[in-house]
Structures are given as structure tokens and as C-alpha cells.
Amino acid sequence: MAEKNGFPAMKNDRLLRAARGEEVDVVPVWVMRQAGRYLPEFREERAKCDFFTMCQTPELSCKVTLQPLKRFPLDAAIIFSDILVIPQALGMEVKMQPGEGPVFPAPLRGPEDLTRLSSPVDVCSKLQYVFDALTLTRKELQGRAPLIGFSGAPWTIMAYMIEGKGSKTMSNAKSWFYKYPDASHQLLKIISDATVSYLVGQAKAGAQLLQVFESHAEHLGPYLFREFALPYLKQICDEVKERVSQLGFEDIPMTVFPKGGHFALKDLAALKYDVIGIDWTVDPILARELVGPNKTLQGNLDPCALYADKKFINSSVKEMLDKFGRNRYIANLGHGIYPDMDPEHLAAFVEAVHEHSKK
């Protein structure tokens, strides 16, 4: 049976129900980086080709997106791609270096480098491969679980474009805020405009929930966050929701994940995001107090708890569920799963969520 949009009818929509604040039979669960190197079947595919080639080949992206769902009763699939496809579409080169992660051979050095960037308007034509991967994966999922699309948040993307690789302090990127505030806003606006079109394109292509990763929130603190992150996170949510509705689609739930940004939770609760991701450093009771009753929370077991034995994982999950409650809640880790983790321990995590949240 197909739905009127041409995609297969949903057999499991717990994630979307929880995001909208509706009742669920059990708490939905998925895990950040669930398609990744901790799975031997992923490493087998990855050994055959370059990381970004995998992202750019819809059949491969679809294949590895579905891998974790074949093993575990997960309640969502997240499309296999990367937040750094936006800088690539803006004209910057990004390489995935083994053992080091993403590297930009020519990062932005100063405001004069902004002229090197392509117009955000052209970005979508360069990212058609992501849209194709989403459409293919949504069909292949056969309604088994909703499909999540995503992007990086503007500050997190800006940080990579200037630092050129990971950084402990982000001092190069942060120096722009103090030395070149106007150029910082200009850059953040370019990234935000590109991201809005990109996320709208993802919704059109079949994504059913959109997550915005503010993975480097922790570096900002309350002042810089309000000035250089919050306005752009607001622009993205407002404009994506408005444009999706203008296109005649139903409202698409959106999640913001401010990693390390406990100080931002109250401000973020005032935006239109439906779901707020919580990392493991924030107690669920405090998170709920800060965001109030009208948002869905997502998280937040310490990923390293998956190194513990299955009995400990089970009792940690029970404690997490007791604190978050079973309404307006999506279970997840507080950040992505690591490559050296045992898939069996992820299985224990997923099973424990369903077991302890049954009515």
C-alpha cells in the first residue's frame, strides 16, 4: 500500500508521534552514528571506497543506512551522509583522512576568503545525490521506520571551514567573532541560506524529520551562542517550516542538538524546533525543567556506557527512562556511538528501551 505522496505506508511511526507529542506504544529509539564503523558490514563496504564517494553514491548510501535496521529493531533510519557536504557544495575541498577525520586543505583564513565561496543558491544542484539517496532509502525502508535527514548548524560548519580540521579550542574560528564580527555574520548567513534550501530539498526528497547538529555548541558559552548561533538556528527552523508548508507538505518535525550547550537549552526551547537533543552531561530532570513541557527531549546515555556489561546497560536505560518519562521522549545516546563498540551492546541498549517503556 502506498500513501498519497507515493511512498510506502508507515508501519512504525513512533519517532514522528513522539516528536509531535503524541502517545506511543513504546519509547522510540535510534542512535547517532548508527550507520558506521562499529558494524563489520559497514567496514566491509567502506574498505571498497572513499568516504565521500560513499556519500555521493545513492545506492551505497542507502545500503549502509539500512544496515543497522537489519540488525536491531530501531525506530528510525538516518541517511548516511555528512554535515561537511555543505562546505563542499560551497566550493571548499574536504578530505576524510584515515585516523584524523575531516581535513580542509585550504581553510578560510580571513574575511577576504569569503569571495571564494559559491552562492548558497547553487548549493542544492550540487547536493542532488543526497536527495536521490533519501528518495531511494525512503522507498527501500518500506515504512519499517521513519527516515531522518540532517545538516550541521551554521556555527559548527563555520568552525570546520576556518579550523580546517578538529580543534580542542576552536580558537581560530572563535577569533573571527572578536576580530571580524561583520564577516562572521556574513559567513553564518551564507551557510544558513544554503542549509535552509538543503533541508527543504531533503523534506521534498522524502526525509520525515530533520536534525540540525550543533556539535560545537560547547565552545561558545551563553554570550557567543546568543549572538552567533541562536539567530541562525532560529532562521533555519522558521524558514524550513514555512517553505515546507508553502509547498503543501505537512509540517516536518525538526530536532536541534546543541552538543555541550546546556546553557542554551532555555533559549532553544523558545524556538519552533519540536525536539531538543540532550548530551549526557545534562541530567534529564534538569533538561525537562529548562525546556518546559512542550518540547520532546532526545538522548542521553553516555555513549561510553556501551562499554559496560549488558546488565549495567539495562539498568542505566531503566534509570534514563524513569527520569525522562515515556511521553515527549526519544531515546538515544548523548552523542554518537564509537567505532570500537560491540554491536551486541547496542542491541542490549535498544532492547532495554523497548522492554522498560512498554505500557
306 binds ligand CP3 (CB under 6 A): no
Smallest gap from residue 154 Cβ to ligand CP3 (A): 13
Stretch that binds ligand CP3, among 13-21, 94-102, 123-131, 279-287 (CB under 6 A): 94-102
Stretch that binds ligand CP3, among 76-84, 116-124, 299-307, 323-331 (CB under 6 A): 76-84
Instruction: Select from 39, 83, 130, 194 the one that contacts ligand CP3 (CB under 6 A).
Output: 83
Helix H or strand E encompassing 152: strand 147-152
* Active site amino acids: 33, 37, 46, 82, 160
Taking the CA atoms of 223, 227, 233 and 237 in sequence, report the sign of the dihedral they define: positive
Instruction: Select from 16, 35, 317, 346 the one that contacts ligand CP3 (CB under 6 A).
Output: 35
By beta-carbon proximity to ligand CP3, the closer residue of 21 and 343 is 343
71 binds ligand CP3 (CB under 6 A): no
Smallest gap from residue 113 Cβ to ligand CP3 (A): 21
What are the b/e assignments for 171-209, b being 16+ CB within 10 Å? Answer: eebbebbeeeeebbbebbebbbbbbbbbbbbbbbbbbbb
13 binds ligand CP3 (CB under 6 A): no
Can you read off the three cell numbers belonging to residue 342? 560491540
75 binds ligand CP3 (CB under 6 A): no
Q: CB-based burial of residue 298 (10 Å sphere; 0-12 exposed, 13-18 middle, 19+ buried)?
A: buried
Identity (one letter) of the amino acid at 307?
Y
By beta-carbon proximity to ligand CP3, the closer residue of 18 and 54 is 54
Please report, for residues 167, 240, 346, the alpha-carbon distance to residue 101 in angstroms, rounded to integers and kept in the order given.
Answer: 11, 30, 23
Give 18-63 as a DSSP string: HHTT---SS--B--TT-SSTTSHHHHHHHHHS-HHHHHH-HHHHHH
For 228, which DSSP code?
A: I
Can you read off the three cell numbers belonging to residue 53? 564517494
Smallest gap from residue 127 Cβ to ligand CP3 (A): 15
Instruction: Select from 46, 71, 185, 189 the one that contacts ligand CP3 (CB under 6 A).
Output: 46
Residues of this chain that bind ligand CP3 (CB under 6 A): 32-37, 46, 51, 78, 80, 82-84, 96, 101-102, 150, 213, 215, 259, 336
